[in-house]
């Protein structure tokens, strides 16, 4: 009976808070709606293409209720595109943040607080707030990790793809044909950079200039080396220098940069090994080396 009363009170408070926040935050006046119809924002450009009845559709419906600032909305949209997702998944991402913000506190209350009958103590309120904040921040940290992993894969794959493009150009193919031939290699079937290059070739076939397509790819991936690659191609076409030589030199520079990063990471391991040695290995060595001596000394003084 106590659990039922607690659940009813908690649900009533949550529903009342949602209703009040919807009335004061999400509702718009007729004048505001009419003005926004003449000036559609960024949200009107993102369409939802998920099937109704699925979890993605439900999360998307929840996410559309979230009204973030335009700068924050654009930041999450760029990060989702950089992670390899479509632009319409931004509402699913917002919905997942809201769902975890509500689900984690409820899970804590019914799993830990309710059995101990500690619903309104300071510790329960503190842990509930911590669960709500964690649920709101977890999708952002997951998205940040996905972006970093994808950017790392693109950085490590770019020199190999440039070598294949260089070979194709030296064999007599054009730049567009070389990019198409490179993406057809089985080695890069599921590689994110090869997928981005395929999108570039499709846009080029549709009539969009190649340099603009490459600039859009650099903006989507948010990788500095891809931006440098696009700038290098633009300067090569502008000044009429050798394309194959420029590609080869740039691939060598990327390999040198990758080797320097690996050497830097290897040099840092010496410092990172100090703490495990001090806290885990050194005490064990002291026990093994000095233990028998301490036992013998204690026997002498008995």
Is residue 85 classed as helix, strand or coil in its secondary structure? coil
Q: Do 217 and 201 contact (CB within 8 A), yes or no?
A: no
Per-residue pLDDT, averaged over 243-267, amounts to 89
Q: What is the tens place of the pLDDT at every residue in 67-77? A: 778 888 888 88
Alpha-helix residue ranges (DSSP H) falling in 83-121: 90-108, 114-116
Per-residue pLDDT, averaged over 116-143, amounts to 82
pLDDT band at 149 (very low <50, low <70, confident <90, very high): very high
pLDDT band at 19 (very low <50, low <70, confident <90, very high): low
CA gap 250, 225 in Å, rounded:
10
What pLDDT shows up at residue 72? 83
Q: What is the largest CA-CA distance in the chain?
A: 95
CA gap 62, 55 in Å, rounded:
11
What pTM value is reported for the model?
0.71
Of 20-24, 78-82, 219-223, 251-255, the range with the lowest mean pLDDT is 20-24
Q: Find all residues with CB under 8 Å of 218, minimum gap 6, and list them.
A: 226, 227, 229, 230
DSSP state at residue 121: S
Q: What is the tens place of the pLDDT at every residue in 167-210? A: 898 888 888 888 888 888 888 888 899 999 999 989 988 888 88
Q: Find all residues with CB under 8 Å of 272, minimum gap 6, and list them.
A: none
pLDDT band at 7 (very low <50, low <70, confident <90, very high): low
- Residue 207 structure tokens: 């009539």
Percentage of residues in the chain with pLDDT exceeding 70? 79
CA gap 252, 158 in Å, rounded:
11
Domain ranges, ordered by start, for the chain: 151-270
Q: Does residue 47 carry a pLDDT above 70?
A: no
What CATH number should be reported for the domain whose range is 151-270? 1.20.81
């Amino acid at each position: 009976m106590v659990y039922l009363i607690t659940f009813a009170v908690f649900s009533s408070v949550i529903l009342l808070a949602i209703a009040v926040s919807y009335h004061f935050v999400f509702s718009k006046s007729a004048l505001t709606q009419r003005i926004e119809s003449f000036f559609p924002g960024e949200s009107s450009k993102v369409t939802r293409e998920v099937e109704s009845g699925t979890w993605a559709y439900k999360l998307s419906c929840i996410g559309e209720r979230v009204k973030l600032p335009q700068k924050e909305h654009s930041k999450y949209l760029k990060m989702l595109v950089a992670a390899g997702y479509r632009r319409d998944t931004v509402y699913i991402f917002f919905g997942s943040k809201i769902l975890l913000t509500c689900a984690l506190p409820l899970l804590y209350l019914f799993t830990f607080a309710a059995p101990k009958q500690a619903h309104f103590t300071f510790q329960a309120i503190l842990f509930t707030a911590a669960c709500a904040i964690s649920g709101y921040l977890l999708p952002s940290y997951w998205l940040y990790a996905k972006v970093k992993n994808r950017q790392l894969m693109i950085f490590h794959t770019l020199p190999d793809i440039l070598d294949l493009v260089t070979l194709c150009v030296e064999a007599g193919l054009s730049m567009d044909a070389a990019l198409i031939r490179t993406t057809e290699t089985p080695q890069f079937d599921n590689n994110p950079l090869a997928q981005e290059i395929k999108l570039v070739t499709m846009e080029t076939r549709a009539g969009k200039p190649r340099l603009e397509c490459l600039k859009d790819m650099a903006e989507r991936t948010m990788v500095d080396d891809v931006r440098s690659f696009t700038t290098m191609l633009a300067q090569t076409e502008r000044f009429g220098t050798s394309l194959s030589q420029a590609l080869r030199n740039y691939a060598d520079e990327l390999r040198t940069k990758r080797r320097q990063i690996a050497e830097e990471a290897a040099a840092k391991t010496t410092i990172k090994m100090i703490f495990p040695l001090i806290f885990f290995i050194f005490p064990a060595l002291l026990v093994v080396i000095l233990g028998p001596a301490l036992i013998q000394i204690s026997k002498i003084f008995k």
